[in-house]
Amino acid sequence: MARKLAIDSKAVAYAVIGELLAEPETEILWDNQDSNGIADHVLQAADVEFQPRARKLILTFDLSGEPGSLELPPAVVDVELPDATNPAD
């Protein structure tokens, strides 16, 4: 009998933010110490809601993804090897 695993919401948040901030588009932002660019990158990826009475800023990330949005490396890569019989190649 399987048991339910508790998933801590903070653990999910750390994973999402970690992946978001490690995207290739942010590399130049980190190099230039562009905190506004990093903040913009995060806010563009989220649905943003501000609740003034509760003094809360809520960022919602769609974790379902688009079908086919993940680019996986090919399982087999064709590599042309030099001809072993002709060492000049």
pTM for the complete prediction?
Answer: 0.60
Report whether pLDDT(80) > 50. Answer: yes
Residue 57: phi, psi to the nearest 5? -115, 120
Cα separations in angstroms, 67 against 32, 71, 78, 80: 33, 11, 26, 32
Helices (H), 1-89: 9-21, 27-31, 35-45
Q: Give tens-digit pLDDT for 4-51.
A: 556 678 888 888 889 899 999 999 999 999 999 999 999 999 999 999
- From the centroid of its chain, how far is CA 50? 24
Q: Give the pLDDT confidence score for residue 10 in this predicted structure.
A: 82
Task: Give the pLDDT mean for 64-76.
Answer: 51
Report d(CA 75, CA 27) in Å as an integer: 27
Residue 42 to residue 22: CA distance in whole angstroms: 11
